[in-house]
Structure formats: structure tokens, C-alpha cells
Amino acid sequence: MRLLIVEDDAEAAAYLTKAFREAGHVADHAGDGLEGYAMAEGGGYDVLVVDRMLPRLDGLSLIRSLREQKDATPALILSALAQVDDRVKGLRAGGDDYLPKPYAFSELLARVEVLARRRGAPASEPTTYRVGDLDLDRLAHRVTRGGTEILLQPREFRLLEYLMKHAGQVVTRTMLLENVWDYHFDPQTNVIDVHVSRLRAKVDKGFEHPMIHTIRGAGYMVRDTAR
Amino acid sequence: MTPHADRPSGGAVTPSRQKQHLLPNLFRTTAFKLTAVYLVVFALFAGVLLGYVAWNAKRLLDDQIRSTIDAEIQGLAEQQRLGGIRRLVNVIERRSGAPGASLYLVTTPVGERIAGNVEALPPGTLDRPGETEIEYARSSDTLDKPGRAIVRIFMLPGGFRLLVGRDVEERERLGIVIRRAAAWSLLLVFVLGCLASWFVARRVLKRIDDMTGTAQSIMDGDLKGRLAISGTGDELDRLALNLNAMLDRIGELMAGMQQVSDNIAHDLKTPLTRLRNRAEEALRTAATPDELRAALDGSIDEADNLIRVFNALLMIARLETGRIQDSMDVLDLSEIVSGMAELYEPLAEEAGLSLVTDVAPGLRVQGNRELIGQALANLIDNALKYGQPAENGESVVTVAARQVDGEVQLSVADHGPGIPKQDRGRVLDRFVRLDASRSKPGFGLGLSLAAGVVRLHAGQLRLEDNMPGLRVVIALPAGDVDAIEPRLVETKPVDAASPSPLPASTGPANPAGLPSL
């Protein structure tokens, strides 16, 4: 994955570039908004990571300008502002995701990878997901593993659906709260962990290979470990 | 309130300059300008009114004079018909002798006077038959005092001419009276208007100057100062009341900011010290990479907690400044409450409590979904943490929502030890943790945050006795049912543009459960 980091703080940018490269991605860096715009316009990036406050051209304007050029490269906005309305403003300007500073790199990485994947995905979502012997039918609301039906509560179903949609990718707790429960605040406690462990009890119990994995320091991942 | 004499001269008008410019100030006041406009308008009205009266009076008098002349002419014509010119002359001679305003003259065809009481006439007057207004002199008067008269001239048979008229001195006198009245009333209007203007402008100016003085002394640091209220309830009183309310609010906000910075200084130093100690100790004692890694993990957790506290503090401060009214919406509160209870239900079970919901369907409030969700999450989280019942008590936390009159009441009730009455006001403050709960994780911000959210929604947060236990009630004004849009009832799609009050979690996995606020 090729990504462009537009960040004026040289130290933060160096840290991000290094961390993304260690995660196996190609990361370029632009030090201000105009340079970032020129590089992004050149194209070829899978994801843009844009700081909101930049010299010469601020992050929101940069993204808005790109969108006006019909450039739909996914963009994640980093911001030190965490006002209640800031996320809305960021998304309205054409950003695809919004992460307030300070953030954990694992959170940023997980979100960027989801954005990059979304770009390659077909416009319409498939009606079924399959990971190993685990099947989820979105229309029939049915989950089977190895042919045996697993009965799930509606919320558990949505949780598994989101995990399976991003199978092979790390999904953080905040991403789950945002996408399954549609809340953007920090629940402060391990509520998500409890939900995941309940789901895990239904999906993995009695099977040799677990499907739902805890990724330490990051979140969860659905992955087939049978092979 | 008198302005301070030692006020710095920069910025607004100083008292000495105010005195110097009292008159220009007066001319510039709204009261003065308004009075000037009224003055002109009233003077105009008075002028028009008097003009109308004068014109009508003149017309009336003229009509009277004409009818008198007509009557005399008819009488004289009758005399002439009966006795010819001789009799007419006799009658005129008799009438001319009588005092009064009537004028008579009979002349020969060449203009020589035969009889009458008119001595001098403008030349050519007698050649124009019909009615005219002329200057004349009476025979009995001196010639240098001409009078005015309305006269009618007739050609009599044989070339004789007859003039009958009436002096109009009465009319002239009335005109003078009216003109004088006009002048006096205009002068009176002007003088009284000026006086009134000066009085009103002075009065208003004085009060505004007082306000300016108070404002100045408040700016100079007397933050307790307030504008004087005259008690008449007029516009200036209303302005002063509003400004005072604004000053109170600013005072509250400043006190709040002061409290926040005090809290930050005091309560963030402890975890920061802990973080530093941990790092230092790891440097000193850790022998293996694994031990270093564990120490680093611990440090990151500690830092994350700090960030959480910091964010929560900022958010409370922001809630208190009340700046998010823009992102208010009509919400389905029932959906939020049920959803939040569902989110926490597994956690309750893990804590050995059962979470029971009693939610009336279709409750609507005006608000921000994220904030109300957050407040409710804090309350449920508290109930799960502190709501452990005493021996053989009920292990139930009840989340309820219902509408009572115009109020939607949302409550979270537990059967734990509760909060003693005397502490109920205090626990809403930042960082306040009761002794009984000090052993539990947390920072004492959850209730303050919930209270801030509720205040922002113009609601009330009440702490009640659940006998035993605590019941926290959030009362919000009910939203407009008709205004609700169908989309709000449905669950929003992924990444819906819902605002985020708090930054997303920044923490790594923490299986033991993160300390909550």
C-alpha cells in the first residue's frame, strides 16, 4: 500500500513514515498543504493521511480541492481539535475517517488499512462472507460454522459481520464501537471486550481453530488459522 | 456609581474628557436627535394649523362683509327707485354721518364727490364697476392713515357712481392676533422642546455614563461590580439586567476555568509522577527485554489514562461554555437508552448484576446523540461499579425512561450503598470521589461530565435515594414529536456524520479493564 503523509511536524512525520514502512507499506511525506496537494494530485496513492492544521493550505481545504478534481483517494484526517463538531466538519469536507490526536499508531494503522481495502472493494457489498468454515449470510441473517448453525443476537450478528467484512485486518475497539454501535465516544471500560468474548464463546467454542483473534495492543481480527 | 479618578487614559473615554465634551456629547445623543425631529414636526403642525385657522377666519369675515354690503346696496337701490338720485344722496348723507365701518360715496360722472364718508381713493377705482379691495381714507380721518376696505361700485343712471364698502380693519386685527399667536407658539414649542430634549438626554446620558463607568471599573479588575438598576423596568433597566446576567455568567465561566486549571494541576500531577517513577524504575532495575517491554506497556497505559482524563476535562469545560447547540437534533431517546443498556448488559453480567430496562417507546428529546449516549454510559458504568448491593440485597441495576408531563425522565438506579444526602451536591463537581469509592478505579469525572451534558440540554440531573441505593435521574424537556424525521428512528449507517465528543480510544489492549472516569 502506498500512502502519503501530509504533516508539518517533522518529528511526527518521521515517526509515522518509519512506522508505516515497518508495517510493510510505502509512505511518502509532504511537509505542507500545497506540497501535499501537488503530490496527491500526481496520484498513485492508496490512502492520504492529512493533518488538519497545515501551513500554506489547511488539511480540510486540501481534501476539498482534491474532491473537486474528482479525486476520490481515501483520506484520513488527523487533528488535535476534538470539538464535538469537528468530526462532522472533517467528514463533510470529504474526509473518509477522522482520528483525533493523540492517537495510538495501531489505531491509525488499522484505520488506514481498512480505508485502503475499501478503495479496491467492489461498489456493492457481497451478500455472504466466508472465512474458513465460517459462513455469514447477510440477507438470511444466518451464521454457520462447518455446516452447523450458530444462533446470534442481532448485535452479535453485526459485530461478526463487521469483523468478517474486514477479515485478515485488525479492527480496533473504537472502530467496533463506531461501526457496530454508531457511537464515537470512548466508553472508558472494556465493554467491547465483553461483547467480543461473548461472540467468541458462540463462534469458537468447541472448534479446534479459533476464528476471532485478539491482537495485543491493537484490537481483534477474524482470520482462518486452519490452513 | 462614580467613575474612578485614577482610571488609565487609554481605551475608552476618560472622565475629564467626558466633562469637556458634555455639550457635543449631548448633541450626539439619540434623545437629542429624536427631540430635534419632534421639534421640527410639531412646529410644522402648529404652523399649518394656525394658517388654516387664519385662512378660514378671513374667508368667514369676508363673506360677512360682502353680505352686509349686499344688504346695504339693496336698501340704497330701493331708495333710488323710490326717490331718484336726490333721495339716494340724502340717505347716504344721513348714513355717512353715523359711526361704523360702512363706507359710502356718490360721485358725478366725472368723479366729483356729491355725498359720502370717503375722502380719498386710489385713482381709477371708480371706473371699475364691481367688487374690489382698496386703500382709502375717510373724510373724518387724516389722509396719512389709510384704511383697507372691500368696496362695490355701481354705475347709476345718468352716469352717477355709487360706492358702497366696509372697512376691514377688524379682519386685519384678527390676522395680526393669529400671526402673533403663531410666532409665540413656535417660540414656545422650540423652548419647551429644547428643555425636554436637554432633560431627557441628560437623564439617559447620565445613566449610560454610569454604565460606562461601571463597565470601566469591571474591566479594571473589579469583577464583582454590577450595573445599577433603577427599578423602573425600562429599556435601560432591561439592558442593565441582561448585562449583569452576562457578567454573572462570565464570572461562573471564569471560576469554572480556574477550577479546571486547579484540578489539572492537582490531579494530573499524581498520575504523571507515577508514570515518571515507573519509567525511572524500569531504567534502573529492568534486566531483560521482557521486563522493559512490560514497563513500557504499563507506561503507555498510564499515558492513555492521562489522555482520557485530559479529554474528559476539556469536554466538561466545553460543555460548560455551551457551544454545541448547532449539533442538536430531535432524537429517539428510547432507542438510545435501549442501545446503551444493551451495550452494557454483558458488562453488568460480568459484574454479577442484572441490568433491567424499563423504557417507554418513542420518547423524543432535542439533543446531541453522542453526548446523551456518553452521559448515560457514564451513569450505567458508575452503577455497575458502585452498585454492588449489601448482603442479600437485590443485584439489579434498572435503567428506565418515561415521559412525565413535558419532561422526559431517564433514570439509572442501583441498590448499592448510595450517596449520603450531604454529599449529593458535591459529587457533581470535578474530581470529587467519596471515601467509600476511593479503592475503585476512576477519576471522579463521570458524574461531572453527565451533569455538564444535562445542563447543556437545559435539563436537570438529580440524585435520589433508591432505598437503598442511588437513583440518578436525568430530566430533559420533551422534544417536538411532530418534528421527528423517520431517519432518526432507524439506526444510522456506518460512519454516519455523528459528531464525536471524545476522541476515539487511543489505548492498547487492556484485558484487565481500563480504569474509568
| In contact, A226 and A132? CB cutoff 8 Å | yes
Nearest Cα to Cα of residue B262 among B106, B429, B474: B429
CB A87 within 8 A of CB A69: no
DSSP-derived secondary structure for B381-450: HHHHHH----TT---EEEEEEEEETTEEEEEEE--SS---GGGTTGGGSTT---GGGTTSS--S-HHHHH
* Residue A227 forms part of a structural domain: no
Is A21 in the same domain as A80? yes
> Between A171 and A190, whose confidence is greater?
A171
Examine the pLDDT at B450 and tell me if it is beyond 80.
yes
Among A120-134, B221-235, B236-250, the range with the most confident prediction by mean pLDDT is B236-250
Give the pLDDT of residue A160: 92
In-domain check, residue A45? yes
Domain identity same for A144 and A97: no
Average pLDDT over every residue of A144-169:
88
Coil vs helix vs strand at A39: helix
Query: Any chain B CB within 8 A of the CB of A201?
Result: no
In a domain, A177, yes or no: yes
- Which of the listed residues A67, A100, A120 is the one where a domain comes to its end? A120
Looking at per-residue pLDDT, the higher value among A135 and B18 belongs to: A135
- pTM value? 0.59
Chain B residue whose CA is closest to A199? B346
Minimum mean pLDDT range among A102-106, B148-152, B477-481, B489-493: B489-493
- Write out the DSSP string of B106-167: EE-TT--EEEESEEE--TTGGGS-EEEEEEEEESSS-TTS-EEEEEEEEEPTTS-EEEEEEE
> Does A20 reside within a domain?
yes
Residue B197 belongs to a domain: no
A165 and A111 fall within a common domain: no
Average pLDDT for B431-455: 71
Q: Report helix, strand or coil for A129.
A: strand
In a domain, A26, yes or no: yes
Tell me which residue of A35, A205, A24, B328 sits closest to A4, measured CA to CA. A35
Query: Which of A177, A213, A198, A193 lies closest to B512, judged by CA?
Result: A193
Q: For B132-136, B403-407, B434-438, which range has the lowest pLDDT when averaged over its residues?
A: B434-438
Report the distance separating Cα B137 and Cα B120, nearest Å. 5
3-state SS string over B292-356? HHHHHHHHHHHHHHHHHHHHHHHHHHHHHHCCCHHHCEEEEHHHHHHHHHHHHHHHHHHCCCEEE
Q: Which of B320, B324, B353, B333 is nearest to B429 (CA)?
A: B320
Q: Is A85 on the interface with B (CB under 8 A)?
A: yes
* Distance (Å, whole) CA B238 – CA B232: 9
Q: Do A189 and B513 touch (CB under 8 A)?
A: yes
CA distance A153 to chain B (A): 11
B240 lies in some domain: no
Domain assignment of residue B245, yes or no: no
Mean pLDDT within B266-274 = 78
User: Tell me, what CATH number does A87's domain have?
Assistant: 3.40.50.2300
Residue A121 has pLDDT above 70, yes or no: no
A75-89, A129-143, B115-129, B435-449: the lowest-pLDDT one:
B435-449
pLDDT of residue B272: 84
Angle between helices B289-321 and B446-456 (to 10 degrees): 30
Tell me which of A120, A151, A183 is where a domain ends.
A120
With an 8 Å Cβ cutoff, is B298 touching chain A?
A: no
Assess whether A151 and A98 both reside in one domain: no
**Grid cell 465493554 in the structure block, residue:** A191
Nearest to A190 among B327, B501, B513 (CB): B513
Range of the domain at B423: 327-489
In what side-by-side order are the strands of the sheet with B460-465? B354-359, B396-404, B407-413, B470-477, B460-465
Q: How many Cα atoms are found within 13 Å in the side-chain-facing hemisphere of A138?
A: 14
Is the Cβ of B495 closer than 8 Å to some Cβ of chain A?
A: yes
CATH code at position B482: 3.30.565.10
Number of domains forming the structure of chain A: 2
CB B230 within 8 A of CB B203: no
Whether residues A116 and A132 fall in one domain: no
Say yes or no: A186 contacts chain B, CB-CB below 8 A.
yes
Judge contact between B380 and B344, C-beta under 8 A: yes
Judged by DSSP in three states, B279 sits in: helix
pLDDT cut 70: percent of chain A above it = 94
Strand ranges for chain A from DSSP E = 2-6, 26-30, 47-51, 75-79, 97-100, 128-131, 134-137, 142-145, 148-150, 171-172, 212-215, 219-222
Same domain for A97 and A6:
yes
Identify the residue among A163, A191, A196 best suited for mutation to test binding to B, counting B beta carbons within 10 A and taking the highest. A191
Q: Place B389 in a pLDDT band, splitting at 50, 70 and 90.
A: confident
Task: Confirm whether A178 is domain-assigned.
Answer: yes
Is residue B373 assigned to a domain?
A: yes
- A8 and A70 together in one domain: yes
Q: Which CATH number belongs to the domain containing residue A160 in this structure?
A: 1.10.10.10
How buried is B94 (Cβ within 10 angstroms: 0-12 exposed, 13-18 middle, 19+ buried)?
exposed
Q: What's the pLDDT score for residue B430?
A: 63
> To the nearest whole number, what is the mean pLDDT of chain A?
85
Range B67-88 average pLDDT: 84
Number of domains chain B is built from: 1
Q: Are A179 and B494 in contact (CB under 8 A)?
A: yes
Averaged over A25-53, what is the pLDDT? 87
Q: What is the pLDDT of residue A220?
A: 92
Which of A101, A120, A139 is at the close of a domain? A120
The answer to whether residue B284 is domain-embedded is no
pLDDT at B10 over 50: no
**Are residue A112 and residue A142 in the same domain, yes or no?**
no
Cβ contact A184:B498 at 8 Å = yes
Q: Is residue B418 part of a domain?
A: yes
Spell out the alpha helix ranges (H) of B220-234. Answer: none
Q: How confident is the model at residue B446 (pLDDT cuts 50, 70, 90)?
A: confident
DSSP three-state, residue B85: helix
Share of residues in chain B with pLDDT > 70 (%): 79
Q: Is B511 on the interface with A (CB under 8 A)?
A: yes
Cβ distance of A189 and B374 shorter than 8 Å: no
Which B residues in the span 422-451 are in contact with A, Cβ-Cβ below 8 Å? 446
Average pLDDT over all residues of chain B: 76
Q: In the prediction, which pLDDT does B326 show?
A: 62
Q: B33 pLDDT exceeds 80? A: no
- The domain of A93 spans 2-120
Give residue for cell 371706473: B127
Which of the pair, B312 or B59, is modelled with greater confidence? B59
In degrees, rounded to 5, the angle at the alpha carbon of residue B258 between the alpha carbons of residues B256 and B262 is 115
With cut-offs at 50, 70 and 90, classify the pLDDT of residue B431: low
Q: Which of B254-268, B290-304, B317-331, B467-481 has the highest mean pLDDT?
A: B290-304
Maximum mean pLDDT: which of A23-32, A98-107, B501-510: A23-32
Q: Which residues neighbour B105 within 8 Å (Cβ) at sequence distance 6 or greater?
A: B92, B113, B115, B116, B117, B118, B121, B161, B162, B163
* Mean pLDDT value of segment A29-42: 87
**Confidence tier at B26 by pLDDT (50, 70, 90):** low
User: What is the distance in angstroms between the Cα of A58 and the nearest Cα belonging to chain B?
Assistant: 21
Q: What is the mean pLDDT of residues B62-79?
A: 86
Angstrom distance (rounded) from CA B429 to CA B448: 6
What is the C-alpha to C-alpha distance for residues A194 and A108, in angstroms, rounded to an integer? 23
Give the pLDDT confidence score for residue B437 in this predicted structure: 58
Do residues A17 and A42 both lie within one domain?
yes
**Residues of chain A with C-beta less than 8 angstroms from the C-beta of B499:** 84-88, 184
Whether chain B has a CB inside 8 Å of the CB on A195: the answer is yes
Cα maximum dimension of chain B: 160
Q: Indicate if the pLDDT at residue B489 is higher than 60.
A: no
pLDDT at position A101 over 60: yes
Model confidence at B157: pLDDT above 80: no
CA dist., res. A93 & res. A76, Å (int): 11
Interior angle at CA B228, CA B224 and CA B232, nearest 5: 145
Confidence at residue B501, expressed as pLDDT on a 0 to 100 scale: 40
The CA angle A19-A166-A129, to the nearest 5 degrees, is 160
Co-location of A205 and A132 in the same domain: yes
Question: Is A189's CB within 8 Å of B516's CB?
Answer: yes
Residues 6+ apart with CB under 8 A from B38: B193
Do A111 and A155 lie in one domain? The reply is: no
Neighbours of A126 (CB within 10 A): 10
Residue B142 belongs to some domain of the structure: no
Both A115 and A155 in one domain: the answer is no
Mean pLDDT of B468-478: 85
In which band, very low, low, confident or very high, does the pLDDT at A183 lie, cut at 50, 70 and 90? Answer: confident
Q: Determine the 3-state secondary structure of A28 from DSSP.
A: strand
d(Cα B378, Cα A64) in Å, to the nearest integer? Answer: 37
CB atoms within 10 A of CB B196: 14
**To the nearest whole angstrom, how far is the Cα of B293 from the nearest Cα of chain A?**
12
Is residue B18 over pLDDT 80? no
